[in-house]
Structures are given as C-alpha cells and as structure tokens.
Amino acid sequence: GAVVSQHPSRVICKSGTSVKIECRSLDFQATTMFWYRQFPKQSLMLMATSNEGSKATYEQGVEKDKFLINHASLTLSTLTVTSAHPEDSSFYICSAVGGLETQYFGPGTRLLVL
C-alpha cells in the first residue's frame, strides 16, 4: 500500500532555531500534500495545503513566514519552522493525496522547543 514517511520523527531544539520536517510519498506521486498540527489532547488542525510547483495555501492564523512550506517535487514537501518558540512545540503530521484521491498520512514529527 501507499506509504508516506516523515523525517525526523522527533526533534528537540533551542528557542530561536529553525527546524525542517520532510514529508515523502515513497511509492506514489502526490501533487497535493497537507500539513496538520496537533497540540496535546487536541484534534488535528490543518495548517496549510502544499501543491507541487506552486505556493502553499495557509489556513487562517498560520503565519506563512514562520512556517515555510516547499513542495519541490511530486514526492517531497518540507515544512520549516523558523525561529521556533516553545509554543510551536507540537505534533506535526503530513498527508499526501494519492490514487483515487485517497489521503495517506505520515507517522508524524514531534517537535519540542526548549
């Protein structure tokens, strides 16, 4: 079946640094990928829609200059959290749209900003 990977699975960083999270569709091409965020004991919330070859579309309240998304190829989207702060600590999950418009989810990346 379709597989989506994320790297890293877990990252701890100091406040003020930038962190890049990769989302890869391993055995299919995905023109669309989604980035979601989940705070503790809360549901997942869509952050942005990433389309290959074009600018990402951000949800209201998500700062595009802080959460940089690059969908450079049909199998890779990256989310960079710039100048991370403790309140950015969260669980970030991507999904990729594959055949029959099915969404396949990555395993997630847990970010802790100290």
Partner 1 sequence: KNEVEQSPQNLTAQEGEFITINCSYSVGISALHWLQQHPGGGIVSLFMLSSGKKKHGRLIATINIQEKHSSLHITASHPRDSAVYICAVGEAGNMLTFGGGTRLMVKP
Residues near partner 1, by CB under 8 A = 32, 34, 36, 38, 42-46, 49, 91, 93, 95, 97, 100-108, 110
Q: What is the DSSP string of 89-112?
A: -EEEEEEEE-GGG-EEE---EEEE
| CA 49/CA 12 separation, integer angstroms | 25
Nearer of residues 77 and 106 to partner 1, judged by Cβ: 106
Least separation in angstroms between residue 34's CB and partner 1 is 6
Length of the chain: 114
Q: What is the dihedral of CA 28, 34, 35, 39, to 10 degrees?
A: -110
Nearer of residues 45 and 114 to partner 1, judged by Cβ: 45
Nearer of residues 16 and 47 to partner 1, judged by Cβ: 47
At 88, is the secondary structure helix, strand, or coil?
helix
| CA 93/CA 35 separation, integer angstroms | 6
- Here the tokens at position 95 are 């999904």
Nearer of residues 42 and 83 to partner 1, judged by Cβ: 42
